[in-house]
Structure 1
Amino acid sequence: MASFTLPPIHDNPDGGWGPSTSNLPENFKFKDIPYAPYSKSDKLGRFADWNDISGDNRQSAPGASNNARAGGRGRRDGVQAFGSGAPSAFAFQVEDESSFSLVDNKTSAPRRGGGFSRGRGGGRGGAAYGRGASRGAARGGFNSGRGGGAQRGGRRGWRDWDKNNRTRESSVAIDPSWQMLEEIEFHRLAKLRLEVDEPEDLESYGRLYPYNKAYDRITTKTERPLQPVDRIKYNTTTSDDPVIQQLAAKGTATVYATDVILSVLMCAPRSVYPWDIVIVREGDRLFFDKRDGGPFDTVTVNENASDPPQDTPAPNPNNPNEKPVEVTPSINTATSLSLEATYINQNFGFQSVIETSPPPAVDFEKPNPFYGPDETEPLASCGYRYRVFDLGITEEEDIKICVRTEVDAYLPGQGSPLQGQGLTTIRALNEFDPRAPGAGGAPDWRAKLDSQRGAVVATEMKNNSCKLAKWTVQSVLAGAEQMKIGYVSRANPRDNTRHVILSAASMRPTDFAAQLNVSLANGWGIVRTVTDLCMKMPEGKYVLVKDPNKPVIRLYAVPFSAFTAEDDEEEGPGFDGEDPDA
């Protein structure tokens, strides 16, 4: 009869769980693997998940929970999983994602009469799927990107097969000489969290006019035309700000940025379109900058829609036989809509304030720092508040960020604007054509805005989740008590030069952030993570790039001469405040 002997047991003389590191054998294969925290609620996942073949989910770490995957089903923003910040030695990484694919070996449905069959889950022009197949497509079997190519219920529309193949170009041309230092997926950013106390106000500049409350009473039956107003409003980058240069010389903070740049970084997991942030490290200071003519100077439209607006595809340079197709310029392309939305935002803010007293304008402590003595055009209503936020985790850490924030007007009778009371920001949503491609299923504002405003707001929160989140974060950073959002539509859907104001809404930024599920703590965690990453690098210039087609950001090391002498063609279209088609 075979005998049974117990294996050797390594006792821990320290009284803790597991073997002691002092008496491990020399050939112990797990000796150099560090300990990683683990929670019972974390699921190990699978080596290969055949239920979801989208490119966003191919690299889910085994230690990540299903809720934190890039698919976004059941995600809880702002909740940090136990041990999420610790490096895992057991994380599986896919080296070449392009070679990871799934071959569908199912037999296709037979056609009727030589044409496309019209199944229960299929569209008129697309291939038909049965009830079970449609359900599987909606759950990830044929999914592509956020929400997948299939719409809710598994129904597929006209030319949905072409939507999966559409690719976007990067916001900045990646030079082959650039060195990629780090790559971070969005599902990792969603786990970060950092609580930040109330900021310290340093200085305030500019002049504010009162908001015209008559715009709150506008309805679709009493619409007002949007008028172009000739005003100057500056959007200077961080390094060119003379006030930030003075504060940096005094050693006020470690990181310096503007609210526009910081809001993009804090809302990065919601972004779909590409963007880039130039980061310069000088000594122990970091400057977050934007490029002239980059994506920060314009406003996106329906970025988060299931089928966002597209630009006219350029001819393939690798195919010399392809003939260029002459396409009539459309007013509903992504670039045209972006310029139109920027024009609407600026002019709605200029028009909705009262420049003739009473009530009087309010001057901050110092005049506008960007308005030179040779300027003759009138300034727009704008106030700059320079505020410092403490990003330190412990009392010993001295990591602060100085942010230039902006407010657009003040509310009369709400207190002293000089004390931060009654400040407001002004933004505008725009409707172009509910029947055009890229409208995202938006209802007709003239028919639904007064009677079913909730449906209109819900659709905008879905199609413009990233844009609304950035506006809300900017308002919170500036300490604004209210945020005014106007609803501006085209006077004629086929004409993008004339617009009318249909309504205006008021909301508290903190309450609206809760409705949008925007976590400020998660945003500050992203900022602190990027700050720590850059502070480990030597002095130099870096660029943080959002991948145009994947939920990933990458950090590159670039030479100091980068982005200083770019051609106009490389910088892309800018915006000067005029009508895009005037």
Structure 2
Amino acid sequence: MSTPSFNLPQIHDNADDAWGPSPSHLPPQFKDIPYAPYSKSDKLGRFADWNDAEGAGRAAAPIAGGGTTRGTARKGREQAAFGSGTASAFGYFHVEDEASFSLVDNKATAPRRGGATNFNRGRGGARTTTAAGNKATQRSGRGGYSQTNRGTGAMRGGRRGWRDWEKTSRDRESSVAIDPNWRMLEEIDFARLTKLRLDVDEPEDVDSYGRLFSWDKTYDRVSTRMEKPLQAIDRLRYNPTTSDDPVIQQLAAKNTAQIYATDAILSLLMCAPRSVYPWDIVILRDGDKLFLDKRDGGPFDFITVNENATDPPLDDKDSINSAGQLSVEATYVNQNFMFQTVKEDQVFDFEKPNPFYSPDEVEPLASCGYRYRVFDLSVTEEEEIKLALRTEVDAFVPATGTAKELLTIRTLNEFDPRAPGAGGAPDWRSKLDSQRGAVVATEMKNNSFKLARWAVQSILAGADTLKLGYVSRANPKDKWRHSILSIFTLKPTDFASQLNVSLPNGWGIVRTITDLCMKYPDGKYVLIKDPNRSVIRLYAVPMTAFIAEDIEEEVDEHDSAN
């Protein structure tokens, strides 16, 4: 009878603090075969779960409303950490498909009749509600019980994200049609933009133009009990793009700066990570100079409404509460509010007259002052990067002596607190005086991008005060008649702090974008915000791009005039 024996196999110690053999001691038959390495510190979880009758060890799948399917949230959390310590060769990611992916509950349900939900009433008033993917909620007519499924937030007022899968996905169109022949040069997501920072000193005032009217102080006493109707006033106010500004052209001829822009364009760029709706900026490089322009009729000429709301206004063109109709209404309200709240009995003239006004014009000129200022964006003492900016102020308040308090004037408008897209805003007429903080907080949430831009514009212009008017429709069904309910007086720097606006971050974004444009040769470029993602892209476009559109608009205006 032979004696049993056991030969101890050769063991190779792994000095890399990992499980399994060292790569230098792999058997020949296992070399060049990919495997998933993991560290000794990685959490493995369960290899198999015999309590899961339908699939042993199956990872829990997340669902749209939060939680996991079939109550396996705890198991999913344990298994998710496997292999997290190292990069896996088996991970597959498809960026283009991720944005359009949505998970649908595919559990078997009892057959239903009629619409999305059936109500079957029995004796004694009992009611059974059957919803897709949820356990029924049963309520007895004589004080029975209620049972709801856990993990999906199906109860009224449930967890955040309840019924999110039922919301209609909105695919917005780009602000400009992208030609297939355009060449994409750069793509930057907003997460990268929020990490930039550049400290910029106080600007140098180069020149000032225009005439300002004084602020009518009687409007500071307006309230919901003493509201004033908004009037339609005909005035001329000019807002040409950067390249069409004759003062900018003179500054460029003198090599005053390397970058030229307006406060409307620059504030959008500085607050870009807050934007939701699409926009575009036309960039022209000429030698060592860079001009940031807007397109005529583009998004810069209109004011958005509730852009940052959880459920923004719909895109229904037939509704007066659609995003486009509300934008036109907000622009109309803002312009007439500026004209109405100033009086001409006191004026303040800047050094030079309005550079855009022609004596041949019939309509009178609106109150507006243009301040041209130069900011130094240099990072080191060796380089010299300056930005010439045209800023605007809207009125003034006489102060002691010869001092003037410069104002910028803006408005928020209420359309219908019960309409879709209102963003949960309270009724202004009933809450604006008694619960002002709640109204302001809601507007700061729903219009974060717009308010941040206004605060930045006021700071760039060197305005001392921002007058913010609250204007509501006289009738929720009529978008052309409005009433002024209240006016807030704000310090631009304090308002920016309340909105959590970081000017150094904004300057970092401006410097980064301009540096990217300076890498490429002379020509025309366009910076486009993706309509459905938090991404901006830089395209190289022909020099003739957008010129045909401007010519068509001029022809249409000429034909309509005749």
TM-score above 0.5: yes
Q: Is the 8 A contact 1:126 1:156 kept in 2?
A: no
On the 8 A contact 2:282/2:295 being kept in 1, the answer is: yes
Name the amino acid aligned to 1:163: T
C-alpha separation in 2, matches of 1:52 and 1:199: 52
Q: Residue 156 of structure 1: which of 163, 168, 171 is its match?
A: 163
1:413-436 Cα deviation digits (max 9, x unpaired): 26645xxx5111000000001111
The answer as to 2:410 corresponding to 1:406 is no
Letter in 2 for 1:350: F
Q: Answer yes or no: is the 8 Å Cα contact 1:137–1:154 preserved in 2.
A: no
Q: CA deviation at 1:222?
A: 0.5
When Rg is computed on C-alpha atoms for both structures, the one with the higher figure is 2
SS at match of 1:367: coil
How far, CA to CA, are the matches of 1:137 and 1:279 in structure 2? 52
Decide which of 527, 543, 547 is 1:560's aligned counterpart. 543
* Structure 1 unmatched ranges of 5 or more: 9-48, 55-91, 139-149, 314-328, 575-582
- Distance in 2 (CA, whole Å) between partners of 1:93 and 1:243 is 55
Q: What's 2:361 paired with?
A: 375
Which residue number in structure 2 is paired with residue 545 of structure 1?
528
Cα pair distance change 1:335/1:105, threshold 3 Å = closer
How far apart, CA to CA, are the structure 2 residues paired with 1:311 and 1:388? 40
Change (3 A) 1:109 1:509: farther
Counterpart contact for 1:117–1:127, Cα < 8 Å? no
2:294 & 2:521 partners in 1: Cα distance? Answer: 21
Partner letter of residue 333 of structure 2? I
Alpha-carbon offset, residue 93 of structure 1: 11
Give the TM-score of the pair, scaled to structure 2. Answer: 0.75
Match of 2:172 in 1: 168
Cα offset, 1:354, TM superposition:
1.3
Which amino acid in the other structure matches residue 296 of structure 2? D
- In the superposition, relative to structure 1, how do residues 229 and 117 fare at CA in structure 2: closer, same or farther (>3 Å)? same
| Counterpart contact for 1:488–1:503, Cα < 8 Å | yes
Q: Which residue of 2 aligns with 1:527?
A: 510
Distance 1:126 1:457 in 2: 39
State the partner residue of 1:353: 342
The 8 Å contact of residues 107 and 133 in structure 2, kept in 1 or not, is answered as no
Mapped contact 1:118–1:128 kept (Cα < 8 A): no
1:415–1:243 distance in 2 versus 1, CA, 3 Å = farther
Provide the C-alpha distance between the structure 1 equivalents of 2:456 and 2:544, rounded to a whole number of angstroms.
32
Structure 1 residue aligned with 2:445: 462
Partner in structure 2 of residue 204 of structure 1: 208
User: Does residue 133 of the first structure (1) align with residue 140 of the second (2)?
Assistant: no
Q: What stretches of structure 2 of length at least 5 have no aligned partner?
A: 1-7, 17-59, 66-90, 120-128, 136-147, 558-562
Deviates more, 1:423-432 or 1:127-136: 127-136
Partner residue, 1:66: none
Deviation at 1:99, TM superposition (A): 6.2
Of 180, 186, 192, the match for 2:190:
186
1:276 aligns to what? 280
Name the SS of the counterpart of 1:239 in structure 2.
Answer: helix
Number of positions where the alignment pairs a residue of Structure 1 with one of Structure 2: 459
Aligned to 2:416: 433
Asked if the contact 2:258–2:290 (Cα under 8 Å) also holds between the matched residues in 1, the reply is yes
Task: Supply the distance in 1 between the matched residues of 2:509 and 2:377 (Cα, whole angstroms).
Answer: 11
Q: Is the counterpart of residue 228 in structure 1 residue 237 in structure 2?
A: no
Q: Tell me the equivalent position of 1:239.
A: 243
Residue identity matched to 1:199: P
Q: Show the 5 A alignment for 1:502-521.
A: 502-521=485-504
1:483 partner amino acid: L
Which letter maps to 2:166? W
Greater length-normalized contact order (CA 8 Å, ≥ 6 residues apart): 1
Within 5 Å, give how 1:45-444 maps onto structure 2.
96-98=95-97, 101=101, 103=103, 107=107, 116=116, 132-134=150-152, 153-156=160-163, 161-164=166-169, 166-312=170-316, 329-356=318-345, 360-413=346-399, 416=402, 421-444=404-427
Please state how far the C-alpha of 1:107 moved relative to its aligned partner. Answer: 2.4
Matched to 1:200, the amino acid is: E
SS at match of 2:242: coil
* Structure 1 residues 196 and 50, CA gap change in structure 2 (3 angstroms): farther
With over 3 angstroms needed to count, the CA separation of the structure-2 counterparts of 1:334 and 1:151, relative to structure 1, is farther
CA deviation map 1:214-271 (0-9, x unaligned): 1111110110010111110001000000000000000001100000001111111000
Letter in 2 for 1:237: T
Residue 536 in 1 paired to residue 519 in 2? Answer: yes
Q: Which amino acid aligns with 1:161?
A: E
- CA–CA distance in 2 between the matches of 1:193 and 1:93? 34
Greater fraction of residues in strand: 2
Deviations 1:389-429 (A, max 9, x none): 11111111101111100000111226645xxx511100000
**Percent of pairs with identical residues:** 64
CA distance, structure 1, for counterparts of residue 436 and residue 242 of structure 2? 38
Distance in 2 of aligned mates of 1:199 and 1:549: 36
CA offset at residue 50 of structure 1? 8.0
Q: Distance in 1 between matches of 2:154 and 2:247?
A: 56
Distance change in 2, residues 1:94/1:568 (3 Å):
farther
Distance 1:399 1:492 in 2: 52
Partners of 2:209 and 2:371 within 8 A in 1 = yes
Q: Structure 2: how far apart are the matches of 1:415 and 1:408? A: 21
**Which residue identity does 2:253 align to in structure 1?**
A
Contact 1:416 1:422 in 2 (8 A): no
* SS of corresponding position for 1:153: coil
1:307/1:440 contact within 8 Å kept: yes
Residues 89-117 of structure 1: per-residue CA shift (max 9 Å, x gap):
xxx99664226746556626668877645
- What CA deviation, in whole Å up to 9, does each residue of 1:19-74 have, x standing for no partner? xxxxxxxxxxxxxxxxxxxxxxxxxxxxxx986999xxxxxxxxxxxxxxxxxxxx
C-alpha spacing 1:136/1:7, structure 2 compared with 1 (3 Å): farther
8 Å contact from structure 2 (residues 222, 487) kept in 1: yes
Q: What per-residue deviation string (whole Å, max 9, x for no partner) do you get for residues 135-188 of structure 1?
A: 5999xxxxxxxxxxx99634338xx62422x21110000000000001100111
| CA distance in structure 1 between the partners assigned to 2:132 and 2:304 by the alignment | 30
Q: Residues 95, 558 of structure 1: CA spacing in aligned structure 2 closer, same or farther, 3 A cutoff?
A: farther
Judge conservation of contact 1:422–1:481 (CA < 8 Å) in 2: yes
- Residue matched to 2:460: 477
Distance in 1 of aligned mates of 2:214 and 2:199: 33
Closer, same or farther: CA 212–102 of 1 in aligned 2, 3 Å: closer
Question: 1:29-44 maps to which residues of 2 (within 5 A)?
Answer: none
